[in-house]
Structure 1
């Protein structure tokens, strides 16, 4: 599964193309990619078309694109909307609903209305509500196990593509003409990833919600900076976030009797760390994955955080970790951190530090990798 470095590489690759861009059209090719979207494919496409994208933002393994209003002077959501009270305009069967249904017990039947008045009708949710600037929204992308977002012009259609967005960048070429549109392809072989339009909420601590790259410096006071999609609001900050609170992490870890690796993988405590970078960080800190977190000294936990950050930054420098074609950047290129892994996937190979063969052990329906000498197993607790 893509972890923080892989998602950040994708975010950084998309940033120049999408910041300030306009979404020209949306094509949903597989509705399974909308499992987190509250509405059908038509709603997703209708609510995105014509909107501007303010930035590309990431927290942990989640990425989102804050949305602004339409740039064409019209609301993209209410094109040719019908008046539900006008019998000449109203759709008699919106979204396949039946024209009449039995009334629940206890409700009053309809009665004849005086001549010239309109009968009252139940208010139905607008399938394509107009953009509400008072309630900001974002396009949320989660890559799942095998998701990719590819960027390009006039390229062959990727296999397993689920959603395609045609986007008009805000930039110009050398002659001052608008840049030609680009395509964003959401590709997902295993269909565990998703896209969704989600409402934005204020951050609990009032700090910027996540990493947005260059715009963090260029426009630090943008209204969307301190808002976060509802679907991401339960995710803790990641260790590379300037607003990450080391003391808060240490306090949370020391309240848990579970093994320290379980704490690292808990996205409600710290985000962005998956199996690969947890194993690498624990090896660097000389900690066994099953060491009880509540028994680790504060100094050891601070050292672990330092190693986590060092591992994540090295992975970012190498473009992330690729074991196969399921993780690539926006240009379809693989990352190279797999060539520098110390323990993950290295079972049987010598430990880079002491030469002892690396072992692989079962852990939470997956695997953990460690050096038996550098990372000795904890003593059995006496009960």
Structure 2
């Protein structure tokens, strides 16, 4: 599943293509993509038509388009604190937001099938833009937006939501205020992530110190700190020289601080390299893979020597996943 760096790469890639543009056409082809939205896929597509994208936001692993001109009361949904609305996007295991020209030119290259998928035009009109002929669609296309109003007259850019495993979803939602920050309602329960300017390391350490759960389990708890998944948890713990099975309340505050700071640092390093890609399921908006997999020190390196001490990296089961660590640098907690 894409973690914070991968989702941030997508957010940053989308922004220059969509900000200030208006949705001239929308389609949601898969009911699974709209499964969290009771009115359904067709209602979502109609609601999106005519909306103007005024922002592209992210918290943790959640991404959203901030929209003007798409009032939720039209769908029988409650308005938010300030009347704005958002299209929340969760990439799931394999979701991709790809950008290309609606006229068929490649803003971003992507594998295609031979079967064209038409994009339905919203009944709210297209104003000054004309939608191009339907282009050949990606075989795992689940939803698409055509966006007009760019610097070139008549230019239309297409954003495609491609999702092979169909765990991803879209959801219209109002904005709400959480601790002085406006976020879409479905994201309200998510803690601030380490890239948030208002992220408070000391506050997170206090929460961790009060818990008896294993420190890795808490790093993966999106209500404690968001954006960290299995890859970056293992990498942060390796950098901090802490075993993920240690109960958080048995660690000192300086040790916990090292863990949190290491999580922020490793994700910043990953972001600089476009994220971590092991296969074609994670790509940026241009269809390109990230390169941080080449810089991993623990995750996925079982049987390889630790870059710090030379001891072989060990893999062990962790819930329904795996943990990777150095048995010398990250001492296994003693059993009581």
TM-score by length of 1: 0.76
2:226 aligned with 1:271: yes
2:109 corresponds to: none
Q: Kindly tell me: are residues 241 and 131 of structure 1, through their superposed partners in 2, closer, same or farther at Cα, counting changes over 3 Å?
A: closer
Q: Secondary structure at the match of 1:241?
A: coil
1:375 corresponds to: 330
Q: Which runs of 5+ in 2 are unaligned?
A: 107-135
Contact 1:345 1:369 in 2 (8 A): yes
1:146 corresponds to: 94
Contact 1:35 1:194 in 2 (8 A): yes
Contact 1:356 1:371 in 2 (8 A): yes
2:314 corresponds to: 359
Shift of 1:345: 0.5
1:311 corresponds to: 266
Shift of 1:9: 0.3
Shift of 1:48: 0.8
2:120 corresponds to: none
Q: Among residues 159, 182, 192, which one is paired with 2:167 in the alignment?
A: 192
CA distance in 1, matches of 2:306, 2:154: 50
What RMSD, in angstroms, separates the aligned Cα atoms of the two structures?
Answer: 2.0
Q: Among residues 238, 241, 245, which one is paired with 2:196 in the alignment?
A: 241
Q: Kindly tell me: are residues 179 and 236 of structure 1, through their superposed partners in 2, closer, same or farther at Cα, counting changes over 3 Å?
A: farther
Shift of 1:137: 1.0
1:119 corresponds to: none
Larger Rg: 1
Farther-moved stretch of structure 1 (336-345 vs 33-42): 33-42
Q: Secondary structure at the match of 1:25?
A: strand
Q: How many residues align?
A: 304
2:249 corresponds to: 294
Moved runs in structure 1, 4+ residues, more than 2 A? 125-135
Q: Secondary structure at the match of 1:279?
A: helix
Shift of 1:286: 0.4
1:15 corresponds to: 15
Q: Kindly tell me: are residues 254 and 29 of structure 1, through their superposed partners in 2, closer, same or farther at Cα, counting changes over 3 Å?
A: same
Shift of 1:178: 2.9
CA distance in 1, matches of 2:171, 2:75: 15
Q: Kindly tell me: are residues 129 and 372 of structure 1, through their superposed partners in 2, closer, same or farther at Cα, counting changes over 3 Å?
A: closer
1:165 corresponds to: 145
1:178 corresponds to: 153
Shift of 1:307: 1.0
Q: Secondary structure at the match of 1:249?
A: helix
Q: Secondary structure at the match of 2:147?
A: strand
CA distance in 2, matches of 1:342, 1:243: 29
Contact 1:46 1:128 in 2 (8 A): no
Q: Secondary structure at the match of 1:355?
A: coil
Shift of 1:159: 2.2
Q: Kindly tell me: are residues 311 and 28 of structure 1, through their superposed partners in 2, closer, same or farther at Cα, counting changes over 3 Å?
A: same
1:95 corresponds to: none
Q: Secondary structure at the match of 2:37?
A: coil
CA distance in 2, matches of 1:38, 1:13: 30
Shift of 1:171: 3.6
1:55 corresponds to: 55
CA-to-aligned-CA distance 1:122-179 (integer Å, 9 cap, x gap): xxx96578999952210000000111000011144222110011111x441xxxx436
Q: Among residues 271, 274, 298, which one is paired with 1:343 in the alignment?
A: 298
2:26 corresponds to: 26
Contact 1:359 1:369 in 2 (8 A): yes
